């Protein structure tokens, strides 16, 4: 089934450690995004990429970095995790052509920083 | 800056009742897109509908209907004859067209409304 694959599904991470959340799509969408979901705050954009080789900052980019080496992959890295980064992380992609639709989301990564 | 407000944090209804989820948005753009997403207890996010700012026709899909009113900047979602499977968190979202020139959708989400349908 076409879509977005995120890994891992969940992770407990010690504060100060680094971690990369993986995201791969097979729909050939140009645009990809990382959101974090927190209770009472909805989903907030961390970083986005409109095409391979280009990335941009979203609403809450501090403490996170991304790369877009190719169309399919958009990993999110936490260089030195802090407890406030405990959240559910969603990767998404979109078709920004004439057939503009909504996002396709991955199933999420639940991260707990202790 | 764009903003989406979902004032209803949680709603409980008895099965078969109708329920309306409110969404109010703010944007300076004249062309924009509105969305509704569903997040069931399993956690995945499911796209339900997209509406363009220049198309104010209401839309009905089965038991779901959407009322878009530019005059009040609202995009409300009604579920008719609710069912237990409708229990979920529903997110309203807004994307301004200006970002499309840069090749991406910058979507702002509301904080969500948790709907509980009681059997």
Q: pLDDT tens-digit profile of A8-22?
A: 999 999 999 999 999
**Mean pLDDT taken over chain A:** 92
Quick one: CA dihedral A25, A61, A56, B89, positive or negative? positive
**Mean pLDDT taken over chain B:** 91
Per-residue pLDDT, B100: 59
| CA gap B67, B76 in Å, rounded | 5
For the cut 60, the answer to whether the pLDDT of residue A88 exceeds it is yes
For the cut 80, the answer to whether the pLDDT of residue A96 exceeds it is no
Q: Which of A100-109, B11-20, B67-76 has the lowest mean pLDDT?
A: A100-109
What is the average per-residue pLDDT within B58-77? Answer: 92
What is the average per-residue pLDDT within B91-114? Answer: 81
Q: Which residues of A touch B33 (CB under 8 A)?
A: 100
| CA gap B119, B109 in Å, rounded | 29
Q: Which residues of A touch B91 (CB under 8 A)?
A: 42-43
What is the average per-residue pLDDT within A89-94? Answer: 94
What is the average per-residue pLDDT within B102-113? Answer: 83
Within an 8 Å CB–CB cutoff, is residue A34 touching chain B?
no
Higher pLDDT, A95 or B49: B49
Per-residue pLDDT, B101: 58
Within an 8 Å CB–CB cutoff, is residue A51 touching chain B?
yes
| CA gap A60, A80 in Å, rounded | 16
Q: pLDDT category, B102, cuts 50, 70, 90?
A: low
Q: Which residues of B touch A101 (CB under 8 A)?
A: 47, 50
Hey, which residues does A73 pair with through a beta bridge?
A24
Q: Give Cα separations from B1 to A37, A90, B108 (angstroms).
A: 20, 23, 10
What is the average per-residue pLDDT within A85-96? Answer: 91
Q: Please calculate the CA angle B26-A91-B46 and round it to the nearest 5 degrees.
A: 65
CB spacing of A44 vs B50 below 8 angstroms: no
Higher pLDDT, B103 or B19: B19
Give the 3-state secondary structure of A49-71: EEECCEEEECCCCCCEEECCCCC
Burial of B4: CB neighbours in 10 Å, binned 0-12, 13-18, 19+: buried
| CA gap B49, B77 in Å, rounded | 10
CB spacing of A103 vs B107 below 8 angstroms: yes
Residues of chain A by 3-state class (helix, strand, coil), percent to 5: 5, 50, 45
For the cut 50, the answer to whether the pLDDT of residue B39 exceeds it is yes
Q: What is the pLDDT of residues A33-56, one digit of tens each?
A: 999 999 888 999 999 998 899 999
For the cut 60, the answer to whether the pLDDT of residue A92 exceeds it is yes
């Amino acid at each position: 089934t076409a879509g977005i694959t995120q890994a891992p599904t969940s992770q407990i991470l010690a504060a100060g450690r680094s971690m990369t959340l993986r995201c791969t799509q097979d729909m050939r969408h140009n645009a990809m995004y990382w959101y974090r979901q927190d209770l009472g705050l909805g989903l907030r954009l961390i970083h986005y990429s409109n095409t391979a080789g280009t990335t941009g900052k979203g609403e809450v980019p501090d403490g996170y970095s991304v790369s877009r080496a190719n169309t399919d992959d958009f990993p999110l890295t936490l260089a030195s995790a802090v407890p406030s980064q405990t959240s559910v992380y969603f990767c998404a992609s979109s078709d920004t052509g004439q057939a503009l639709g909504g996002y396709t989301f991955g199933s999420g990564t639940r991260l707990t920083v202790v | 800056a764009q903003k989406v407000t979902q004032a209803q944090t949680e709603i409980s209804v008895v099965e078969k009742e109708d329920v309306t989820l409110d969404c109010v948005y703010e944007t300076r753009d004249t062309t924009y897109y509105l969305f509704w997403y569903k997040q069931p207890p399993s956690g995945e996010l499911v796209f339900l509908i997209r509406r363009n700012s220049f198309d104010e026709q209401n839309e009905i899909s089965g038991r779901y209907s959407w009322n878009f009113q530019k005059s009040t900047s609202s995009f409300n979602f009604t579920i008719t004859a609710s069912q237990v499977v409708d229990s979920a968190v529903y997110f309203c979202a807004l994307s301004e067209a200006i970002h499309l020139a840069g090749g991406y959708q910058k979507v702002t989400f509301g904080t969500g409304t948790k709907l509980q349908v009681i059997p």
